[in-house]
Structure 1
Amino acid sequence: MTWHLTGDVERFLAATGAFLRARPVENTLPLTIAEHVRLHGPRAYGPRDAVFGWHDGEEAAAVWTPPRPPVLSAMSTQAAAALAEALSGDLSGVSGPVAVVEAFAAAWERRTGATAKVHSRMRLFRLGTLVPPTPPASGSARVGGAGDRQLLIGWTAAFFREVGEDDPEIEAFVDDRLSYGGMMLWEDGGTPVSMAALTRPEAGMVRVQAVYTPREHRARGYAGAVTTAISRAALKAGATEVALFTDLDNPTSNALYQRLGYEPLEDRTVVEFPS
């Protein structure tokens, strides 16, 4: 039983689409990354072509968009270790369910002599019953438009800095979401005070991203308000599942999303392989 690796996203989806879409929340990252590459080309995430993989002995998938680390689906520890043997090139790290990442990292360490270091720990949530915050924050939501582009780029860059991610494609991130109404702003007194983003729908699933409030506007309920607004908009547009990730080291956001009706599903980890 072996891994098959390809740069052809259509071939990857033909091999994995059925099982990935059967559990769209758990597979939110492989699905949304593959769709983004399908729409924008193999270098949608950086200067090197994306690589996709699947295992012919079980339902297992991997997506790698250098320079980002490969993202792994749920799989056996044996399949994860075999993938570490199959991949070649400089890996900055690996991301996925905790046990899967640990098995991959151990095999990569044996193969290369690298030492894995935990970069971040995340929790995947799915929306149950949406519970708007009480008392409600002052202000109202609106969909971001072209006139908000520079503000959204600046806030998105600030968001990625705060969560410790180096994303060189900030403008592409914002422009893509503006193209389908996937950026939302919360305004108070006509002034934008918070934002949230949304992925394109995949198998009825969307993922809330980049919830950000500048420091001068925090502790006023704006993050909860904009998250509620974008979640409600997604459901109204026909989404059957709404997901999001939180940083496990941030108790504030973990508590907030659970108050809004988001239910913890599973934990993920990202490890780095320092050069």
Structure 2
Amino acid sequence: MSPDDWHLTEDVDDFLARAGDFLRSRTVPNMMQLTWAERVRLRGAASFGAQAPVFGRLERAGDILGTFFRLPNRGVGLGPLTPEQADTLAAHLSALGHSLPSVSADDATAAAFAESWQRHTGATPTVRTRLRLNRLGTLTPPDPFPAGRGRVVGERDREQLIRWCAGFAADVGEAVSIDADSWAGTRFADKRYTFWETPDGTPVSMAGLNPMVAGLSQVDPVYTPAPLRGHGYAAAVTVETSRAARADGATDVVLFTDATNATSNALYQRIGYVPVAEWTAYEFTYAAPV
């Protein structure tokens, strides 16, 4: 297999025209490509700054075998690839002069690409985070269910919403600035949010829902401020958000969890989420020029 089989483009419409059927036939493993392609399509590439997002497809004899995306100043997100396919991509990107800060994908793909990238560039890969991708099976509300109700977040909640998204980003180690000025350019801006409120109307937890793409909805983020944890609020707001996704017609509802957090993984499994894949992100460190 030749690196020339990889085709890169900054034209998201062209990428979707050529690889869209492939992605939609495998929505769960390719959810990140679908999500970011749709986000770029709706926002416009210019909204990401002077450097446009890049999308790529692996094509041979008219068949699509794999895909990836890269956002400005960020690493690559990969769909499932064999070690050989990951190596041809690493060779291709290296030959084009790309300097990648990171890679994220399912465990096997990410490990294969990280190894190949080190071989082609000398960069040292280090695991940044390990996630677990979960898919909703039979939705099972917690028992007992905490008192209160879910409420769709509105404009009057904007300040609290931004503050809680910033809290979530800090908790999971995302290097991103989230405030009123930067909000529109973050990945958090184009989601639909639900607050869980106590009976007196006090918000105590939140969950976001990405726009549905190809019948798939991703619950992200789920956040409860530290002093309010341990009361079942995260489970309650996730149930409300998952119900809303299914009511919208989603055939697949998914969410990521920290693979190392046994408490949160057990919580989501109790309400009906089933693990389907392990996910890893590697950071790359480059030797200083001599």
Category of TM-score, reference length = shorter chain = over 0.9
Q: Work out which of the residue numbers 252, 268, 276 in structure 2 matches 1:257.
A: 268
Residue identity matched to 1:183: Y
After superposition, the CA RMSD in angstroms is 1.4
Q: In structure 2, what is the equivalent of residue 11 of structure 1?
A: 14
- Contact 1:123/1:247, CA 8 A, preserved across alignment: yes
Partner-residue secondary structure (3-state), 1:36: helix
Residue identity matched to 1:250: N
Distance 1:19 1:86 in 2: 22
- The one-character-per-residue Cα deviations of 1:130-169 (angstroms, maximum 9, x if unpaired) are 0001100111001101111111111001101101111346
Partner-residue secondary structure (3-state), 2:190: helix
Residue identity matched to 2:41: R
Residue identity matched to 1:176: D
Gaps of 5+ in 2: none
* Residue 44 of structure 1: how far off its partner (Å): 4.4
- Contact 1:16/1:59, CA 8 A, preserved across alignment: no
What is the total number of aligned residue pairs between the two structures? 271
Equivalent residues in 2 for 1:53-202 (5 A)? 53-57=56-60, 58-87=64-93, 88-168=97-177, 171-172=183-184, 173-177=187-191, 182-188=192-198, 189-202=200-213
Moved more, 97-106 or 189-198: 97-106
- The one-character-per-residue Cα deviations of 1:26-68 (angstroms, maximum 9, x if unpaired) are 2111100100000002254566310000001352000111222
Distance 1:46 1:248 in 2: 33
- What is the TM-score when the length of structure 2 is the normalising length? 0.90
Distance 1:211 1:264 in 2: 17
1:51 aligns with 2:54: yes
Partner-residue secondary structure (3-state), 1:190: coil
Partner-residue secondary structure (3-state), 2:124: coil
Distance 2:7 2:92 in 1: 9
Distance 2:173 2:252 in 1: 27
- Contact 1:36/1:44, CA 8 A, preserved across alignment: no
- The one-character-per-residue Cα deviations of 1:55-114 (angstroms, maximum 9, x if unpaired) are 013520001112222100012111111111112322111000111111111111112111
- Contact 2:190/2:211, CA 8 A, preserved across alignment: no
- Contact 2:190/2:210, CA 8 A, preserved across alignment: no
Distance 2:189 2:216 in 1: 21
- What is the TM-score when the length of structure 1 is the normalising length? 0.94
- Contact 1:212/1:223, CA 8 A, preserved across alignment: yes
- Contact 1:186/1:193, CA 8 A, preserved across alignment: yes
Distance 2:147 2:125 in 1: 45
Distance 1:174 1:5 in 2: 27
Distance 2:50 2:161 in 1: 24
Partner-residue secondary structure (3-state), 1:273: strand
Distance 1:16 1:214 in 2: 40
Gaps of 5+ in 1: none
Partner-residue secondary structure (3-state), 1:220: coil
Residue identity matched to 1:270: A
Q: In structure 1, what is the equivalent of residue 230 of structure 2?
A: 219
